[in-house]
């Protein structure tokens, strides 16, 4: 696929960074021990790539969604422990602040995002709430000038390293499904917040947590977009930043599929069975041919959706299609590549196990494949 010269140069720079600062052995350890490599992330920040979602007037490089996706893809090939914090900074914080932040929030936070010194954790899911986010049970109520937040956010990735939890809370009667929801920026170090780590199969390296809020006191300045955005959270959530979230996960999927194909091809060329490299057996040739074909289709889907978002054209349909296709595709491609590598594909001695664990998580997280199919069918106005 042809890419702009700017993105090609950016990819080369990120690949050099990955080779220099993220060797395979280290990345395996971050994954296994669920470690966030803070020093590597700090080095990445110096490259200026977190500023790819930040307008120049706030100290960034100017919003460039295709470039942001290229960075995510290249990082995800090697490690979720660096790709996820990048997403937490550039996308969760950068995109949401640009799209929905008040002017004072933008001035205070976006320059820090651009420097790699600021990130959000997403506090959407809860113990009783997954796909049906409009039913969140975390509440916030006003008492004079104070706002008190109560409830539990589950699977809150990186809450322990984030500057704020981007917290969707109910601020009125739940019968009004999409109304009465507000987004708050809650500091995880505030009094009344407890962060408890959860273990899970894939997308490791940045712990996922329960973030428990017990009468956490915040001010009106903690409302995303300012006090007038009380009860406007759904509108803010369902906007362009959510479309970009689907693309972020698609970029992770693409990175995993590419990495799995590359490792499988290398193995197929060097592993000799029955007198020839296994890559010369037709079954393996076809498996790889199919995997590479699917991966190219993923790349084209992502490029198309990223270009639409960049140009501010309608992209809700395409971003859901891309999330569905890329995340299911990554699971299929990595499982096929794992078989090419036989027993070694099941071993911690290779990276294939990580690709598979991360890839099979993707059709679940960030809006499941079924939710994407519902979105697509709704956008197509199919009968219910």
* Closest C-alpha among 114, 10, 9, 117 to residue 62: 114
Task: Return d(Cα 148, Cα 219) in angstroms, integer.
Answer: 9
Task: Return d(Cα 240, Cα 377) in angstroms, integer.
Answer: 19
**Binding to ligand FAD, residues 312-371 (CB under 6 A):** 361, 364-368, 370-371
319 contacts: CB under 8 Å, gap ≥ 6: 243, 244, 246, 247, 305, 308, 309
**34 or 231: CB nearest ligand FAD:** 34
369 contacts: CB under 8 Å, gap ≥ 6: 324, 327, 328, 363
Neighbour-count burial of 314, counting CB atoms closer than 10 A to its CB (0-12 exposed, 13-18 middle, 19+ buried): exposed
**284 or 327: CB nearest ligand FAD:** 327
CB of 10 to ligand FAD, least distance (A): 26
CB distance 153 to 140 below 8 Å: no
**Binding to ligand FAD, residues 87-146 (CB under 6 A):** 122, 124-125, 130-131
CB of 164 to ligand FAD, least distance (A): 13
Please give the C-alpha separations between residue 317 and each of 104, 135, 372, in angstroms, as whole numbers.
33, 23, 9
Binding residues for ligand FAD, rule CB under 6 A, total 20
CB of 154 to ligand FAD, least distance (A): 7
Residue nearest to ligand FAD (CB): 130
CB of 97 to ligand FAD, least distance (A): 17
CB of 331 to ligand FAD, least distance (A): 13
**64 or 358: CB nearest ligand FAD:** 358
CB of 160 to ligand FAD, least distance (A): 12
**249 or 305: CB nearest ligand FAD:** 249
**159 or 303: CB nearest ligand FAD:** 159
**CA 231 to mean position of chain CA atoms:** 26
CB of 129 to ligand FAD, least distance (A): 7
CB of 209 to ligand FAD, least distance (A): 9
**287 or 322: CB nearest ligand FAD:** 322
Residue spans of alpha helices (H) in 200-351? 233-237, 240-270, 282-310, 316-340
22 binds ligand FAD (CB under 6 A): no
**222 or 324: CB nearest ligand FAD:** 324
**304 or 374: CB nearest ligand FAD:** 374
**Binding test (CB under 6 A) with ligand FAD, winner from 171, 208, 295, 338:** 208
| 350: three-class secondary structure by DSSP | coil
Give the residues across from 276 on adjacent strands.
273
Pairing of strands 193-198, 208-218: antiparallel
**Binding to ligand FAD, residues 153-172 (CB under 6 A):** 155-157
**198 or 272: CB nearest ligand FAD:** 198
* Closest C-alpha among 54, 47, 43 to residue 90: 54
CB of 370 to ligand FAD, least distance (A): 3
**Binding to ligand FAD, residues 175-204 (CB under 6 A):** 200, 203
**287 or 334: CB nearest ligand FAD:** 334
Torsions phi, psi for 153 (to 5 deg): -100, 130
Q: End-to-end CA distance of the chain, in Å?
A: 38
* Closest C-alpha among 4, 116, 1 to residue 66: 4
* Interface positions with ligand FAD (CB under 6 A): 122, 124-125, 130-131, 155-157, 200, 203, 208, 361, 364-368, 370-371, 374
């Amino acid at each position: 696929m042809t890419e702009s010269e700017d993105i090609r140069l950016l990819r080369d720079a990120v690949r050099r960074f990955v080779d220099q600062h993220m060797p395979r052995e280290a990345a395996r350890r971050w994954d296994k021990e669920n470690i966030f490599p803070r020093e590597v992330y700090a080095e990445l920040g110096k490259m200026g790539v977190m500023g790819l979602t930040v307008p120049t007037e706030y100290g960034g490089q100017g919003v460039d969604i295709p470039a942001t996706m290229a960075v995510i893809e290249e990082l995800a090939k090697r490690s979720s422990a660096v790709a996820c914090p990048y997403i937490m900074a550039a996308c969760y914080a950068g995109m949401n602040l640009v799209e929905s932040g008040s002017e004072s929030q933008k001035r205070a936070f976006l320059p820090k995002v651009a420097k790699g010194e600021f990130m959000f954790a997403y506090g959407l899911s809860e113990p009783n709430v997954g796909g049906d986010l409009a039913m969140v049970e975390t509440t916030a109520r006003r008492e004079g000038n104070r706002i008190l937040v109560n409830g539990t956010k589950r699977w809150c990735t990186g809450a322990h390293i984030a500057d704020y939890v981007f917290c969707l809370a109910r601020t009125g009667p739940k019968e009004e499904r999409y109304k009465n929801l507000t987004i708050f920026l809650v500091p995880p170090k505030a009094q009344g917040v407890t962060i408890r780590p959860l273990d899970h199969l894939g997308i490791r390296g940045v712990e996922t947590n329960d973030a428990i809020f017990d009468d956490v006191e915040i001010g009106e300045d903690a409302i995303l977009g300012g006090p007038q955005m009380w009860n406007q959270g759904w509108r803010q959530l369902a906007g362009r930043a959510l479309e970009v979230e689907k693309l972020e996960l698609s970029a992770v999927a693409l990175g995993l599929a590419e990495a799995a194909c590359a490792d499988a091809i290398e193995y197929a060329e060097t592993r000799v069975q029955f007198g020839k490299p296994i890559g010369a057996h037709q079954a393996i040739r076809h498996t790889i041919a199919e995997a590479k074909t699917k991966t190219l289709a993923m790349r084209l889907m992502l490029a198309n959706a990223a270009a639409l978002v960049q140009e501010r054209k309608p992209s809700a349909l395409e971003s859901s299609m891309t999330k569905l296709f890329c995340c299911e595709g990554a699971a299929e491609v990595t499982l096929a590549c794992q078989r090419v590598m036989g027993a070694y594909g099941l071993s911690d001695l290779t990276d294939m196990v990580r690709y598979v664990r991360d890839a099979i998580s993707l059709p679940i997280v960030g809006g499941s494949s079924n939710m994407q199919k519902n979105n697509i069918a709704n956008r197509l106005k199919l009968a219910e």
